[in-house]
Amino acid sequence: MSKKFRPWNVQQDYLLPPSLLDWLPEHHLARFVQEVVEELDLGAIYEAYEKEL
């Protein structure tokens, strides 16, 4: 069974609700977490999934 990531864009707008970031106050912890995750080097994780394909 192969594992695949689905593309995800935190800035993506939905049909009815606004962007998820529009729901959060400017200094909300979730914004900080998102910024930290964007800076992480996930190469080893992606590499492990690519080997399974």
- Render each residue's pLDDT in the chain as its tens digit; 53 residues: 566 777 777 777 665 556 778 888 999 999 999 999 999 998 998 888 887 76
* Contact indicator for 31, 21 with CB cutoff of 8 Å: yes
Q: Determine how many CB atoms are found less than 10 A away from the CB of residue 48.
A: 10
The reported pLDDT for the residue numbered 23 is: 82
Cα–Cα distance for residue pair 40/26, rounded to 1 Å: 22
Q: For the whole prediction, is pTM greater than 0.75?
A: no
Q: Determine how many CB atoms are found less than 10 A away from the CB of residue 19.
A: 13
Helical ranges in 1-53 per DSSP H? 29-39, 43-52
* Contact indicator for 24, 31 with CB cutoff of 8 Å: yes
